[in-house]
Each structure stands twice: as C-alpha cells, then as structure tokens.
Structure 1
Amino acid sequence: MTAQRRKTRQQMPALPTPRVRDQVRARPRYGRWLLDQVHDTLRRFVILPSEEAYDAVTLWVAASHGVPWLDTAPRLAIISPTKRCGKSRLIDVCECLSFNPLTTANTTVAALVRSISPVDPPTIFIDEADTVFGTKKQAENNEDLRGIVNSGHQRGRPVRRWDVRRNRAEELETFAFAALAAIKDLPDTIMDRAVVVRMRRRANDEKVERFRLSRNREELEALGAKVNRWLRSYSEELSKGVPEDAMPVEDRAADTWEPLIAVADLAGGKWPDRARAAARVMTGAEAGEAASGDAAGLELLQDLRTVWYPEEDKVHSNTIVNRLINIEGARWSNYQYGRPINQYELAQLIKPYGISPKSVRAGADKANRKGFERHAIEEVWRRYLPEEQPRSASVAPGQRRSATRKVRV
C-alpha cells in the first residue's frame, strides 16, 4: 500500500463493511430497539430527574457514535447541588456506551487537544469539573481550557499554537463530544452549549442495580458497538441533519439538540416525538434557571425606573441605594445576610447590562461622585423592560405618581 493510500485511509472514519451495512439497513426497527436498550440500561443503573432526561442522555450517547457526520457536538452537563447525587455513576455508564471514550478528572489544554483526532474524535468525559471551573480564580486559571470546551461544540473551530521545535504555527482540532460533571453550574458559555441534566440524590425508595466496571463494562461496550454499527450504516442520512422547520427549539439550543433529534428521526417509532419533547422541556427548564438567576438584575432595572425621577439626568449611586432600600416588599433592604444592598453590589448587578458607574455631578449641591446617567439606563429599560409605567411612587418630597409598590418616605 502506498503512502498516499495509507494517508487517505487514515483520514476516513471507521465504517461498517458493506455486508454489515446491508444487514443493518434491512432491519428498519433495529435502531429504535437499540435506543430502547440504551434507555433501559440507563434506568438499570442511574436515577435521572425525569423521563426527558433519560431520553436526552440515550440520544446523546448514540449521537456520539456519529460525530464525523455532524456539524455540532453537544456538551452533556451533569450538574448536582451537592455530592452523592450519581454524577460519577452516570459518567461511568455513559463512558461504556459512548464512542471511543477519553476520561479525565483533570487535564491540560495541550493534553486535551492532542488527544482529539480530526477524523474520528473521541468522546471526552471530565469528572469533577467543579475543581477546574468551580471558583472565579479556578475559572480564570483555566480560561484556555474553557475556550477549548466551547470551541469544540462546533466543527471547524481549531486552536492555533506555535510549535517551537518546528518554528511554525499548528492547528489543533477541538471538535468532539464532551460530558462534564460538576457540583453546581459550570460557566455560562459551557451551559449554553449543553444538554443539562440536573441530578438529585436518590431517595430511599428509589432502587437501582449496583454498577461495577469489572462486571458490567463488557456488556455495555457490546451494546455501544451495536449502536455504532447501526448509526454508521446511516452516515449519509445522518449528515443531512434536521430541517429547520422540524426543530422544536431555536438558535444555540437548536445547534445543541439537532444531532440528538437526527438520531431519533433515523430510529423512528416514538423516538422522534420523544426527542422533540425532551428538547422543549429541558431547554425550557434551563431557560427558567437562567431567568431565576437574572431575577435580581431584572428586578433592579424595574425598581430603578421606579425611583429615578423624570427630571433627573444623573443620580449618585448612594442616592439610588437609599431609595431602593425604602421600597416596601423589595429585596434591597435585606439583600445579603440581613443587611441592605450597597453601592458595590448595585454596580455588580447592573454591570451585565453594559452599564458601570462613573463620576457624575448630581443632586442639589452638584457634588462630583460615582453615579449613573439617565440616557444609558433608559436604553437598558427599553431593551429589557415592558412598555409600562413604573410600579410605584418615587421617594422625593412632594406629590408623586402612585403605583402598586409602595415606597417608605
């Protein structure tokens, strides 16, 4: 075999033989049966929070076997509020079922990118990812690794590094399926590219079979090999993706869920409907999580509109804080550990909206202190708040407009 032919074969993903391919395609119900087997295997060993979560993990595992024909590689974020919720068990089971698993509890950027084949990339499993991204300092120290995890979500996003020995730049592949398990949320940019499974501690009446790698690995790997032969027998169909009007979600969520829905459509039966239901339910649940995380910021914007007088072009930060604290029923008088909000916390809450305090001359004495300008705040109100009148009266002396939320004078 010539060097050119060897190189060509190395650049092709592994495919079933024509005989195996014909045998697989002659059994149209084989795919849905395999997905049912993966689903039942997950139920044997792991307690997941919902039926949609079982379906999503089943499809994610199956889709990992078709990564050479996909344009996106969704992350699987396995999140729990505390330890002993089954994250590592789910990682172990998925590792045995997925394509060419590469498991690590910690890694470096160099080791990770050099382990990813551009032809048939592995499925990456990072357990205890909270030790990498858990604190602000840890996240800052591992910013390069986060960039790799983010860029690997989409095909054609390699990283460039300078090879000192060869004195030239080299491109390193990042595209690969990845599962990350962590206590509490991962960085937002990773969560946004992930199918998120929020684990919970198993109740006393919830029973699962005890999982041991030495005892169960061979069985699960054999099932994964069957999924591999099935899915790669339909590589051409898989590469066509899912029509845009057949996707139940949009934007980044559509990119993340498309490989899973494509697998479900190939399997047929009830799986296409189950996949779309899982996408809607789990994406909606995460949107709710994000909304609750943004609740304080949105409430602040609303209450700023309440306490900012129409005639004021600029207001000092300490004036805003004092007015916020006086809103009855708001969180600001008891913001953190029984104490009211302060100017630093005000600045941090409003910073994500692109506004930072600056030196302004405001008030009757026109003192020069840190504060905000109305035109900047109004632009944020226009984008994030509905068109309506403020909810309550301002706290200045004299007659002011009335509303449902009262302010103590």
Structure 2
Amino acid sequence: MGEVDEISTAPTCRYCQRLRGDSPSPDFCSEDCQAAWLADRAEVRQPEDHGRSARADLPEIAPAESLTWLGPPPGAFVKPGHEVLDAVVSFVSRFSAFPNEHCAPTLALWCAHTHIADRLYVTPRLILDSAEPGSGKTRVLEVAQFLVSKPEMTISITPAAIFRMLINGPMTLLFDEIDAVFNPKTGGNNEDLRALLNAGYKRTATVTRCVGDAKSMNVTRFPVYAPVALAGIAGGMPDTITTRAITMHMRKRRYDEVVEEFIEEDVEREAEPIRADLETWTTRVADDVARARPERPDGVRDRAAEIWRPLLAIADAAGDHWPETARKACSHFVLEAGPQTVSTGVRLLADIRQIFTAQATDRMVTAELIRELHALEDSPWTDLQGKPLDSRRLAKELDRYLVRPKDLKVNGKTLKGYRIDGDNGLADAWSRYLPPLDPAATSATSATPQVDGTAEAHSPPGPSATSATQVADGRGANEPTATPLTSAVAQVAAVADETTQPPGEGR
C-alpha cells in the first residue's frame, strides 16, 4: 500500500493525529482541525524564499480523495434562513393538522435550535399533549425525527441510559407515550427521570454518579443537557417540566381536515435535503444566535423569556416575516394559550380579591368571607376533598402567603377576619401572585363596608371605586400600577374559572 493510501485510510485526524471518533469526515475529527489544517497551508511563505519553497514541517502529500467537509465549504451557497424555515413549516404541515397557526412555525424553530444546541445555554422542552389518543402527537414526533439533530426516538428509556448517551454531546430525545411514564394512576413514578428532564434544559446541568467497583470508585459528572420533546395524554405531565416547556395541545382532526399519508421511508427521503439546509444555515448563524438578546413580547418574562430566547434569536436571524411570526407564537403560547393549572392557594387569593372588590371593602370577618366564597359560582370551596372550606383550612392556605387573620371590631365585638393593608394583609400576596385588576372591572359606585367598627379607627369610610381597585390590586391609593405578572394566571376571571386540586396536607 502506498504512502498516499496510508494517509487517506488512517483512523486519526489529519491535523491533530487523534482518533476521529464518530466524526462524519474521513479526514478530521472536528471542524476546528479542518480549519486549522487549511490555515496552515494558506500561510504566506517566509520573505527569504519569497514563497517559492514549501514549509518543511507541512506534509505535502495530497489526499487520495477530496476532503470531506464537516460544514459547508467556504463560499458554498447557503439558502436564506427564512426560506429554510418556510420549507420546514410546509413540510411538517403536510402530515399534521395543527390546532392553530402558531404550532408549525414554533415546531420549525424548535427543530432548528437542535442543530446548534451545543452553542446555546438553554433548550426549551416541547410538549405535545391531547385529551384523547389519535390526535396526531406521535405523527409530529415521527416527522420531526427526520429534521432535528441526532434524533433518538423512544417510548421507554432509563435515566442511566440517557446520561451515558449524552457523554459525547447533546442529542435530540423524542419521548412518546410519556403519560405512561409519569402518570401516578398507572404506577408512574420516575423521579430520577423527572429530575433529569428538569435540570437538562440548561447546558450546565450534570448528573453525579459513582463509577467503578468498590476498590476504585470515582465520582463522575455526566452532562444531561439535551433538546427534548415529549408526547402523551394531557394531565400526567409534572408541573416542573411544563414550566420549562412549550406545550402544544393537539386535537383530533375534523373530517374536512386532510393530511398526506405518512410512509416513513418516503418522508425520510424527502426530509433529508430540508434537514441538510436547516443544519447548514443554523451552523452559519450559530454564533450570532448564541450572542443575541432578542426583544421579547410584552408580558413574557422569567422562565418563559428564558426558554423562548433561542427561538426568537433564530427567527431574527432568519429575517423576512419570521421575527413577527415568532413573537406572535411566543405571545400565544405564553399569554393566550388558555386556562392553565394554578394552585389552590392562587385560586383562593383570586377569589378573595374578587369578593373584596365587589364589596368595595378593605376588611372582612372570617365567617362572612367563607360564606361569600361558598356562594361563588363554580367554585371548589364547598367541596375540598369531601369537606367545605372552613376557617381553619382558610387560615392554613393563606398562611403560606404570609396572610394571617387579625382582630376586627364589629358592633362592639372582636372577631377574627382579614384586612387588605397592614402586616400580614392581603395586599402583598395579591401584588405578587395575581395580575393587576382592570379599573373598568370595578363598580362605579361605593359600597357599604362589610365591617362596621364601633370606633373610627376600626370603621373607615367606604372607599371610592378608584381606591377600591387600587387597594384590591395591593397597590394602595398612591402607588403606581404594578407590572403585570406572567404566571399561569393571565386574568382574574381565568383564575376563578380554573378548578384545581388542593395541595397535600404535608405542604
């Protein structure tokens, strides 16, 4: 075998001489080595020979075949980003009937980010759920597997297998039938998997394990950062995962909604050039995306802003209609996606604020407050695990928010009740856990206070409509309007309509 053949078939990298591993190139272990090899040969020769002779330390034997590039060769044509993403949207829409116009663009952005996940600090989880089977969740994953980077589609996998698979870098995990994994009614527990999925949305996440036998045990940190999509029946997903996710609520197709037949080998073949364009373009803009701090829609903040940042940055890099399309999708999934599960405590705070605002009062005795809560239409307060809400349960729920009953003077008697202002009042909890009230939602007339004190100190005059709104917001009469919260409670009415299970007694 000649010298040229030995070079071209060697399992080591041509530049650093280390093993090429699973690199797709027969010549280099990484793009960095490839670029360095080319840079060495492009160097200007020393002045003394005016570039007439080659450097002695650089082998001049030509490769047996043309170099295999890991990325696009310099000067290669790269499609514009908006055309690449548009092609992804068109492709996935051929096989799925999405419930709204925002799902397909969001899926395209999510698929794009998987190709540069190793350059990002955060990867949003993608959740596909539905009320009933046969709603197209699995089909979305089946199509997406041919568009994402390094897909691993699975129904059952252990945490140990996951973090060993991720040793060599992020891969895209596509979980189907995840409801069977986490649903406690079917015996689902999997706390280790839940913790792994929770932590792994950030690049710094690791799982620590002891590796080796008893005589040579070492502590090893395994990286668990990876893009993840999860599909399953709604209701079984842990809240700690949903807060790190973009959730698409899939529905059964109507009879007039037609999609193309899914033949896997045909779909794989047709998806390949689209996936290649997606990988090529995202690789080209990866550094810009990683450095970007995109403007986000009003009301999107905290973790929602964190998980949407890479998708908005990719949309900005794509240009054309994509910056606007992505922000509309972000607003939809974060702010307008319909009622979301809220805790019993937040529901209680919202209902109490509704009662205080309707009564235009700043205080109320416990017995009267409980009667008003029981009277609310569609409220859960008459049946909490088989028992109606009483003063003891009310105090226990509110105490978690540092709201505690106070002594109130009522017709010469001292009774327990709750106030808006003051230490352990409701105002602070309302301002932290609920959005501000719309002033137009309050009555234009004053109402008679629920508590008639026997002394002026305990019998404030009935507040005006404006002051009632400000007090109910927890802002006071002279404080500026607070920034709207972006929690699961988008509106007070939405909170009041949402029925949730009470927290466990141990909380």
Q: Structure 1 length as normaliser, TM-score?
A: 0.76
Alignment of 1:5-404 (within 5 A): 5-6=17-18, 17=69, 20-24=72-76, 26-27=77-78, 29=80, 31-119=81-169, 121-135=170-184, 141-165=189-213, 166-185=216-235, 186-240=237-291, 242-244=292-294, 246-248=295-297, 249-286=300-337, 288-290=339-341, 296-302=347-353, 310=363, 323-324=371-372, 327=375, 329=377, 331=379, 335=383, 341-343=388-390, 346=393, 350=397, 353-354=400-401, 376=424, 378=426, 379-381=428-430, 383-384=432-433, 394=450
Matched residue SS, 1:6 = coil
Matched residue SS, 1:97 = coil
The one-letter code matched in structure 2 to 1:58 is A
Q: Does the C-alpha gap of structure 1 residues 85 and 355 become closer, same or farther in structure 2, counting only changes over 3 Å?
A: farther
Matched residue SS, 1:162 = strand
Task: Report what 2:493 is aligned to.
Answer: none
Whole-angstrom distance in 2 between the partners of 1:178 and 1:235: 19
Q: Does the C-alpha gap of structure 1 residues 45 and 380 become closer, same or farther in structure 2, counting only changes over 3 Å?
A: same
What's the offset of the Cα at 1:35? Answer: 1.2
Whole-angstrom distance in 2 between the partners of 1:325 and 1:238: 50
Whole-angstrom distance in 2 between the partners of 1:357 and 1:247: 38
What's the offset of the Cα at 1:145? Answer: 1.2
Whole-angstrom distance in 2 between the partners of 1:330 and 1:377: 26
Matched residue SS, 1:264 = helix
RMSD: 4.4
Count of residue correspondences: 385
- 5+ residue gaps in structure 1? 363-370, 405-409
Matched residue SS, 1:45 = coil
Whole-angstrom distance in 2 between the partners of 1:309 and 1:274: 44
What's the offset of the Cα at 1:225? Answer: 2.6
Report 1 or 2 for greater relative contact order, CA contacts < 8 Å, sequence distance ≥ 6.
1
What's the offset of the Cα at 1:343? Answer: 4.9
Matched residue SS, 1:72 = coil
Matched residue SS, 2:145 = helix
The one-letter code matched in structure 2 to 1:275 is A
What's the offset of the Cα at 1:72? Answer: 0.8
What's the offset of the Cα at 1:257? Answer: 1.4
Matched residue SS, 2:229 = strand
Q: Return 327-336 or 39-48, whichever deviates more.
A: 327-336
Considering only CA atoms, is the larger Rg found in Structure 1 or Structure 2?
Answer: 2
Q: Structure 2 length as normaliser, TM-score?
A: 0.63
Whole-angstrom distance in 2 between the partners of 1:221 and 1:9: 24
Q: Does the C-alpha gap of structure 1 residues 310 and 345 become closer, same or farther in structure 2, counting only changes over 3 Å?
A: closer
- 5+ residue gaps in structure 2? 1-11, 24-28, 33-67, 409-415, 466-507
> Which digits, 9 at most, give the CA deviation of each residue in 1:45-102, with x for residues without a partner?
0011111111100111111111111111111111212211110111111112111111
Q: Is the 8 A contact 2:349 2:430 kept in 1?
A: no
The one-letter code matched in structure 2 to 1:20 is P
Q: Return 217-226 or 207-216, whichever deviates more.
A: 217-226
Whole-angstrom distance in 1 between the partners of 2:241 and 2:102: 21
Task: Report what 1:407 is aligned to.
Answer: none
The one-letter code matched in structure 1 to 2:159 is V
What's the offset of the Cα at 1:234? Answer: 3.0
Q: Is the 8 A contact 1:321 1:342 kept in 2?
A: no
What's the offset of the Cα at 1:156? Answer: 0.7
Task: Report what 2:470 is aligned to.
Answer: none
**Greater share of residues in helix:** 1
Whole-angstrom distance in 2 between the partners of 1:67 and 1:310: 53
The one-letter code matched in structure 1 to 2:18 is R
Q: Does the C-alpha gap of structure 1 residues 169 and 322 become closer, same or farther in structure 2, counting only changes over 3 Å?
A: same
Task: Report what 1:367 is aligned to.
Answer: none
Whole-angstrom distance in 1 between the partners of 2:282 and 2:450: 63
Task: Percent identity, please.
Answer: 27
Task: Report what 2:42 is aligned to.
Answer: none
What's the offset of the Cα at 1:297? Answer: 2.9
Whole-angstrom distance in 2 between the partners of 1:269 and 1:182: 34
What's the offset of the Cα at 1:204? Answer: 0.6
What's the offset of the Cα at 1:147? Answer: 1.3
